[in-house]
Amino acid sequence: MITHWAVPLAGIDPSRVSLTHLHAVASGLADQQHWASPKPWAARPPRFLDGLPVLEITTLTTDSADQLRTSVAPGTAIRFGSQHGTALAAPHPLTATTWTDLHRETPTEPSWTVRFRTPATFGNGNRFSPWPDPAAVARSLTTRWNTFNPDPTQHFDEDPRLWRRIWVSDVEGHTELLPLPGLTVPGFLGRIRYHCDDPGVATTLHRLLLFAELAGLGRYTTRGLGIITLDSGAGRNPVVSGPQKSPRSVQRSDQRKQYNSDVPGSPAERAGGRSVQ
């Protein structure tokens, strides 16, 4: 099960939370093996949802979900740098999707418009690139999918020659420089359109991009990078299991609230970085 959780907070100003602070808190709550790579979870920058600051974490395995639920209860201390807050409630799911649900999805058109809501970066080792090259995107997502999907019959072929059949047909965006401990990372922020006329590869890419909407895209997804959404069309919505409650409804009442997917503030400002046109 892939589950997107929210933890409502008290005493935290989301605009003051850095990428480093986010990673420290999220890893303390969801991590079981500190040096494991890739991680079975991803984090999003804290934001206001229904008037409450919330921390959002997506878990990709049952173990990581259990770890998060065990780590947080009402009143649990949450510290982002100099900000000391508390959890108002236990983690609760905003969305939940099975791997099988995603694996059943098929595209209705051979193109996808991806909007990067927070900067995404790609590369290996100490080499970083802001360019969301189709091969880099597909390779990164395939590695995570095959690592955490427990059903090997649903794993994807990792042959890099397949990704040559995907190309970029439109792009609009810019680079943002993000400071991390000991280095500065360039990230892409904007919109890009991928196209693929090979039916088999298109189906794989479609499922991987739906996965990326939940789990993030590229490197440092545990620090809030690589949050994306897909434009409507192409059968983009994964199956969500059951009605979900908002943070305020869980913390105060059973009244349902509308989920606002916007991430507040400039990603560069939130990270203490700057924009490069």
Both structure tokens of 102: 């995603």
**pLDDT at site 252:** 46
3-state SS of 26-63?
HHHHHCCCCCCCCCCEEEEEEEEECCEEEEEEEECCHH
Q: Tens digit of pLDDT for each residue in 114-157?
A: 999 999 999 988 899 999 999 999 999 999 999 999 999 999 99
N-terminal to C-terminal alpha carbon distance within the chain: 39
Q: Tens digit of pLDDT for each residue in 18-67?
A: 999 999 999 999 987 766 789 999 999 999 998 999 999 999 999 999 99
Assigned CATH class of 2-97+240-262: alpha beta
Q: Tens digit of pLDDT for each residue in 149-179?
A: 999 999 999 999 999 999 999 999 999 999 8
Rounded to whole angstroms, how far apart are CA atoms 239 and 227?
A: 19
- The domain made up of 99-230 has a fold known as Alpha-Beta Plaits (3.30.70)
Q: Angle formed by the axes of helices 62-71 and 19-30, to 10°?
A: 100
Domains 2-97+240-262 and 99-230 equal at CATH topology level:
yes
Is the four-CA dihedral 193, 196, 199, 204 of positive or negative sign? Answer: negative
Domain ranges of the chain: 2-97+240-262, 99-230
Q: Tens digit of pLDDT for each residue in 197-243?
A: 999 999 999 999 999 999 999 999 999 999 999 997 644 544 444 44
Q: What is the pTM of this model?
A: 0.85
